[in-house]
Amino acid sequence: MQQPVVRVGEWFVIPSVNQISRQGRQLTLEPRLIDLLVFFARNPDEVLSRDRLIDNVWTRNIVTSHVVTQSIFELRKSLKDGDDSSPEYIVTVPKRGYKLTAPVFWCTTVESEDLIPELPAAELHTPIEPAHVPFADPPPEPAASPVESPAKRKRLATFWVWSLFLLALVTCVAMVAMSTIKSHPAIAKTRLLLNPRDIDIRLENGNSCNNWMSQRSYAVGLGNLVTTLLNTHSTFMVHDKTDYNFNEPSSSGKTLTIEFVNQRHYRAQQCFMSVQLVNNADGSSMLDKRYFITNGNQLVIQNDLMDSLSEALEQPWSEKMHEMLRQYQPLKSTSLPHFYQAHQFLMNGDVDSLIKAHDILSEITKQSPEFTYAYAEKVLVDVLRHSQHPLEGTSLTAMYEAIQQVENIPGMKDESIVYQIQTIVQLSKGNVDEAFEAINNGIVLEMSWLNYVLLGKTYEMKGANRQAADAYLTAFNLRPGENTLYWIKNGVFQTSITRIVPYLNNFLSSK
C-alpha cells in the first residue's frame, strides 16, 4: 500500500499521521486542515474557489463560506508557525478564491514487498510525478552495438529505470527522516482551548444577494435577541459579533452564522437567510436552516429559529425565557422588522440614530398598540435623547408621564428595560445610589451588553473606575464592535477610554 508524502515549501506533509514537519519542528494538525493542504498541493498554482474547496474537501458535508475562511486562516497560521516574516503559502485572489504559491514536490514511500513488482517499464514511473520531482536525469545509455539483441537493450533500459526510481525513493525517504529525527523532541502545536458552552454569533455579508441590506436589521435583531435570551436563561455564554468585523481566532466551541445567500426557488434566484450552527471542535453542522423572508412571516421565522436552537443545543427553554420572548411578538408580524430597524438605530447611540429610532417606534405603537415593548423602547430612546439634549416644558412633562405609563404596564416591571430607563433618569439627576440599585435589578433580569454599559457609567459616577472598566469589558465581550465602543464613550455622558479602560484602545486603533 502506498502512502503519499508531499513537500510544500519547507514543510513535509505526512497525511497518514496528520502531521507536517520541518527542521525538527513537528506539528499535528486537524485532519480537515491536512486534507485542505493536500488538495492545494494536488492543484499547485491554480486558483481554487470556495465552492470547489467545499466540494472536494468537505465532501457530503454542508458548510458555509465562513468555515472555509476560518480553515484557511488556521492553515496559514500553522504554516507560518509563529514566524511573521515567513512568506505566505496561500494567497487570496480577490473575487476568485485561493492559490498555493509554494513549490510542491511529491514522493511515495512503498512497503518492502512492493519494491520488486513485475511491471512494464511504462508503469515504473507512476510512483513519482516527474512534473514535481526535480531529480537529476539518468546518464545517457551507451550506444548499442549493432550486434546487441533487442532483449538485451530492453534489460538495460529496465535497469536504468529501476535505478532512477530507487535513487529517488531513497532520497525522498532520507529527507523525510532528516526533517523529523533530530536531537531534541518534537514540539507540540499550541492551540486555543475551545469552550463548548461558548457561542459566537456572526453575520456574513450578503454580496450574493441584491436586497440583503433591507433585511440586515432583522438579522442583527435576531442575533441580539438570541444573545440576550441565552445569556439570561441558559447555561451558554453567547457573544454577539454581528457588528464585529475582525476575523481572529476564537475560543468559542460553537459558531452561529447568519448569511444571506442566493438559492434557486421556483425556477428563479431568491435571496434566502441561511442560519447555521457549527461545532468548532469537529466542524460538524448542528443546525442548518434556510428562510425565505416575506412581509408577513418574520415572526414565524423567529419562533422557528428559537425552537430549532433549543433542539440543536439540547437546551429546553424555561418559562421565564418564553415570557421574555413573548415581549417580541406583536400581533402584526410586519411590525417586527420595523422594531428591529429601530432597535439597531438605538444600538448606534448617536443623536441622529436616536431620532430615527423615535420616529419608527412612534409609528409602530400607532399601528400595533398591543406591542407594549415597542412603547417601552420608545421611552428609553426619549430618555437617552434627554440625557444628551435636555428637554424642557411640555416635552419634559410628557416624557415623565410616558415613564409612569411604562411602569404601570402589567408585567413590565419584570423586564429589564424599565430599570434601564430608571438608571439613565437617576444618573441624569446625579442620584448615583438610586441608579446603582436600578441597574443591578436590571442585570438580575437580563444579562445584556447595554446593562453592563450602564453599570459602568454608574461605577464611574461612584468614582470606582476599576469596577467601571470591568463592566465595560463585560459589555464589549457580550457584543464587541463599534456600536458598543460608541456607547461606552458617549452613552449618558462622555467617558475617556484611555483613562478608564485603556485595554479597549487596542480595538479603537484597529479601526
CB contact set of 480 (below 8 Å; sequence gap of 6+): 239, 241, 243, 244, 507
Which of 100-114, 268-282, 470-484 shows the lowest per-residue confidence on average (mean pLDDT)? Answer: 100-114
Report pLDDT digits (tens) over 51-97.
888 888 877 555 666 678 778 888 888 888 777 677 788 888 877 88
Q: How many CB atoms lie within 10 A of CB 156?
A: 14
- CB 227, CB 479: distance < 8 Å: yes
**How large is the average pLDDT for residues 223-247?**
90
For residue 115, what pLDDT is reported? 34
Most confident region among 15-29, 36-50, 390-404, 467-481 by mean pLDDT: 467-481
- How high is the mean pLDDT of the chain? 81
**How large is the average pLDDT for residues 395-410?**
92
Report pLDDT digits (tens) over 413-423.
889 999 999 99
Q: Report the chain's terminal Cα–Cα distance, integer Å.
A: 54
- Residue 483: is its pLDDT beyond 60? yes
- Residue 107: is its pLDDT beyond 80? no
Give the whole-angstrom CA distance, residue 165 versus residue 370: 82
Q: What is 1-140+148-190's CATH topology?
A: Arc Repressor Mutant, subunit A (1.10.10)
Give the whole-angstrom CA distance, residue 456 versus residue 488: 8
Domain ranges of the chain: 1-140+148-190, 195-326, 344-508
Give the whole-angstrom CA distance, residue 194 versus residue 459: 32
Report pLDDT digits (tens) over 307-322.
999 999 999 999 989 9
For residue 176, what pLDDT is reported? 57
pLDDT band, residue 372 (cuts 50/70/90): very high
For residue 149, what pLDDT is reported? 58
Report pLDDT digits (tens) over 117-127.
333 333 333 34
For residue 148, what pLDDT is reported? 52
Higher-scoring residue by pLDDT: 108, 258: 258
For residue 113, what pLDDT is reported? 35
Q: What's the CATH architecture for 195-326?
A: 3-Layer(aba) Sandwich (3.40)
For residue 128, what pLDDT is reported? 38
For residue 117, what pLDDT is reported? 38
510 phi, psi to nearest 5 deg? -85, -5
Higher-scoring residue by pLDDT: 358, 507: 358
Q: Indicate left, alpha or beta for 290 from its phi (over 0: left) and psi (-120 to 50: alpha).
A: beta
CB contact set of 49 (below 8 Å; sequence gap of 6+): 96, 97
Q: Do domains 1-140+148-190 and 344-508 have the same CATH topology?
A: no
Burial 378-397 (b: 16+ CB within 10 A, else e): bbbbbbbbbbeeeeeeeeee
What secondary structure, in 3-state letters, does 391-432 show? CCHHHHHHHHHHHHHHHHCCCHHHCHHHHHHHHHHHHHHCCH
CATH code reported for the domain at 344-508: 1.25.40.10
Q: How many CB atoms lie within 10 A of CB 19?
A: 18
For residue 182, what pLDDT is reported? 46
Give the whole-angstrom CA distance, residue 119 versus residue 409: 88
Q: How many CB atoms lie within 10 A of CB 224?
A: 22
Give the whole-angstrom CA distance, residue 101 versus residue 83: 17
Most confident region among 52-56, 70-74, 160-164, 358-362 by mean pLDDT: 358-362
Higher-scoring residue by pLDDT: 465, 30: 465
Comparing CA positions, the residue from 221, 233, 226 lying closest to residue 444 is 233
